[in-house]
Amino acid sequence: MLENLILFLVLLVVGYTSGTIIEKRHFKKIREREASLVSLPVIMLKRPLHEAQIKESRLVNGSVVISIDYFKKFTASLMNFFGGRVTTYETLLDRARREAILRMKESAGDAAEIVNVRIETSAITKNASQNIGAVEVLAYGTAIYR
């Protein structure tokens, strides 16, 4: 009995540590890529800033699926039981949203701006109990070329 508890706690610590390291590395890469693409504006408005100068427009998109690690799932289950903010899912959605926008920007090439940007999310479930296994985020918009 005690061995099982110790094994569970060890696996929980290993899961938490590895998940935290992977998440921090991903956030670091996201920040670096965001800094390199900061000059390409992403606008939620339906119309471009200067309509008279448009040479071409094209639909661009970026999507990502990010899996939730066991520790986050365990923590989210506890938060659902006790109530309150589920911050483990908030960071997962933040990473996925930012990654999808970056992929959309990268697919736009030398666009001047991306307008009418929309973001869609969906949860991907693994089993009959409807626990979230991963989250998919799709970002899409119209790239304007001048």
pLDDT at position 79: 63
pLDDT at position 117: 96
Mean pLDDT for the chain overall: 85
Residue extents of the structural domains in the chain: 2-145
* Residue 67: φ, ψ to 5°: -85, 150
Which pTM does this prediction carry?
Answer: 0.80
| 2-145 maps to CATH 3.30.110.70 | yes
- Measured between alpha carbons, how far is residue 8 from residues 2, 17, 38, 76, 78 in Å? 10, 14, 44, 17, 16
Q: Tell which wins on pLDDT, 82 or 43.
A: 43
The tens digit of pLDDT for each residue in 107-136 reads 999 999 999 999 999 887 766 566 667 889
Integer Cα distance of 20 and 15 in angstroms: 8
The tens digit of pLDDT for each residue in 39-71 reads 999 999 888 877 778 889 999 999 999 877 666
